[in-house]
Amino acid sequence: MSVYEYSAKTVRGEEVPLSHYKGNVLLIVNTASKCGFTPQYKELQALYEEKEDEGLTILGFPCNQFGAQEPGNASDIEQFCELNYGVSFPMFEKVDVKGAHAHPLFIYLTEKAPGLLGSKAIKWNFTKFLVNRQGEVVKRYAPQTSPKEIQKDIEELLSTI
């Protein structure tokens, strides 16, 4: 199995198979507009702009499960990201990342890359999962890990075909 087995709806409601991103290095992030980590959108966008031509794709998945920090609808989220941070990487519809209604992609991600002490549950917004060009989950990063701190790991994956 790989992340390519899954699909998700974009903020505009279009169902996209993740196989669409096959061959790219992916950074999958659960996001929120009203979180202390929300300014990471700026770093994520800068990283995307810098590395997109080398094969990096960032996928943003808004989630309202942590402190109700993503209260808006898909249109609100898209406008917020675009206006405040110039986000141009793919953003998806709001999803649950834990619990009984968790999106299957996030169930897969947490199984393949458990967190601290083997915990599978995502604990907060801006948890990040790095996926290689073959669709395999390589590493999980805590919310407080800035995108800049991940850049070296991303560059290593981008340098391998």
Give me the active site residues, please. Answer: 35
Quick one: which of 69, 45, 44 has its CA closest to 124?
A: 69
Does the structure show a pLDDT above 90 at 121? Answer: no
Domain CATH for 105: 3.40.30.10
Tokens of 35: 């979180």
Domain assignment of residue 32, given as a range:
3-158
Taking only the tens place, the pLDDT of each residue in 32-80 is 998 988 889 999 999 999 999 999 999 999 999 998 898 888 888 888 8
CA distance 41 to 31: 8
Give residue for tokens 């898909």: 74
Q: How many independent structural domains does the chain possess?
A: 1
Q: What is the pTM of this model?
A: 0.94
